[in-house]
Amino acid sequence: MIFILFLLFISLTFFSFFLFDFDYMAPSFIFCAMYTLSIGCSLINYNYWGMGDFSILTASIFLLGAIIFIIAGFAVKQAISPHNEINVNINFPEPINVNLRFAFFITILNVVILILWIHGVKSMMGNYGSFGEMMEAYRLSTNYSLNSNVPTMPGYLSQLEKIPLSCGFIFGFIFINNYVNKKIRKVDVLLVIANLIIYCAISIYDSNRLNLLGLVAGLTVYYYFLTIGKSQKGNFKIIFKVILTFTILLLVFYGIRLLIGRSDSQDQGFVEYITKYIGGSIKLFDLFIKQPIHNYSTWGFETFQSLNGTLRDLGMPIPKSLMAKEFRTYNGINLGNVYTAYRNWYADFNLRGVIILQFIFALFYNLYYYILRKSRLSRHKIAIIIYGYMSMALFLHPIEDWFYSMFISVGFVTYLIIFPVIYILLTRKIKF
């Protein structure tokens, strides 16, 4: 069954590439390609993970999700851009002149926030023998404990963290925009390097490597939109660059695993570790389908955790829950605790909910994408920056759900304020 599923997803990937006019950034193509990669990684461990025993229901959900996405994407494309039109004004992005005073101010502020964050982590964890041990303890206390006595990061600092994370995307967009225009100044390079280092450092100190994958996904999206008129159909050179960048990132991803507290992976080689991280969710979701965990005491208990947390803070009787899922093993092999985006939806709403939520997910990303393709870039740069940030949920769908858990939340509204405010202040001449 898993081999048939893999062949079907390869076929759907090529089919969507042709159906959507050789557009390698079309949401449907990305969706199918990422699942093809994940299923392929699970096949590498065919014997170790018992992939021969793969549920027909699990395969049906994966296949149905892809078909829903392609149908929704095709319907949206036909309604908005039936002939793959691109607004000619999007082909020539103008150079962005950065307000250096504010740029230096926000960079210094991000350094201060990083220092405060590091201090907060060390204050929570106390003294540990190594950085890796400290980060492992931090990850366990923040992601796997509901104990109210466990120290937590101050609320104000959790909000301030959003500023350097937003700056990683904003400075990245401005740098790529000016690079495309060949208007790069040395100060631009220094500013973007500084803010990207801060972004990576605060992500590492938060024991969150998925932020790194999200940033690369966002920068890839920015490069696409800023060169959309210059790229020819089927430009495999750009696809090769994306694959090369992704490979380098995986090497970094593997290299820092012990640094941020993944001590259980100390004896795992690169292929074993990466295939488990990318493809383990395929097997884990199958294990979940065979031995499901449902909690119907709260509506959307797993799917809308952030939203339920806000309602709980407002006084509603909603029990606390962990964002992290249970770990599962197969024949003594620890496969981790990521189950694809479908896990939350199926746990809360069964198959009908999976169909509805997947359709909403597909409709949102296709509408956003094709509206941007036909828009004037000069008028919608902030919208593109936000789309790049939100694209992580599209790229990471085979790993876990970021759309309903992260973006349907009050916290995301804060990002919708921070992104335009910082971008406007960075690109306007303002006297202090």
Residue 394 φ then ψ, to 5° = -75, -45
In this predicted model, what pLDDT tens digit does every residue of 172-224 receive, in sequence order? 999 998 888 877 788 888 999 999 999 999 988 887 878 888 898 899 899 88
Q: Give dist(CA 419, CA 410) in Å, integer.
A: 15
- DSSP class of residue 208? -
What average pLDDT does the segment 307-328 reach?
A: 79
Q: Give dist(CA 114, CA 303) in Å, integer.
A: 30
- Segments forming the whole domain that contains residue 221: 1-427
In this predicted model, what pLDDT tens digit does every residue of 4-28 receive, in sequence order? 999 999 999 999 999 998 888 999 9
- Residue 300's pLDDT band, with cuts at 50, 70 and 90, is confident
Query: At residue 318, does pLDDT exceed 80?
Result: no
Number of domains, the chain = 1
pTM for the full predicted model? 0.90
Lowest mean pLDDT among 157-171, 270-284, 347-361: 270-284
The reply to whether 230 falls in a domain is yes
Q: Give dist(CA 208, CA 234) in Å, integer.
A: 34
The reply to whether 236 falls in a domain is yes
- Residue 431's pLDDT band, with cuts at 50, 70 and 90, is very low
What average pLDDT does the segment 110-131 reach?
A: 82
In this predicted model, what pLDDT tens digit does every residue of 25-45 receive, in sequence order? 999 999 999 999 999 999 999
Task: Report the candidate in 18, 3, 13 with the shortest Cα–Cα distance to residue 67.
Answer: 13
Query: At residue 51, does pLDDT exceed 80?
Result: yes
Q: Give dist(CA 314, CA 56) in Å, integer.
A: 42
The reply to whether 72 falls in a domain is yes
Q: CA-CA-CA-CA torsion for 29, 200, 429, 380, nearest 10 degrees?
A: 10
- DSSP class of residue 336? E
Element (H, E) at 330: strand 328-330
The reply to whether 432 falls in a domain is no
Q: What is the mean pLDDT of the chain?
A: 85
Q: How many CB atoms lie within 10 A of CB 45?
A: 21
Q: Give dist(CA 105, CA 56) in Å, integer.
A: 56
**315: buried, middle or exposed (CB in 10 Å: 19+, 13-18, 0-12)?**
exposed
- Residue 234's pLDDT band, with cuts at 50, 70 and 90, is very low
- DSSP class of residue 137? H
Query: In the prediction, which pLDDT does 88 show?
Result: 44
Which residues is 328 bridged to in the sheet?
A: 336
In this predicted model, what pLDDT tens digit does every residue of 319-377 receive, in sequence order? 777 777 888 988 888 888 899 999 999 999 999 999 999 999 999 999 999 998 887 66
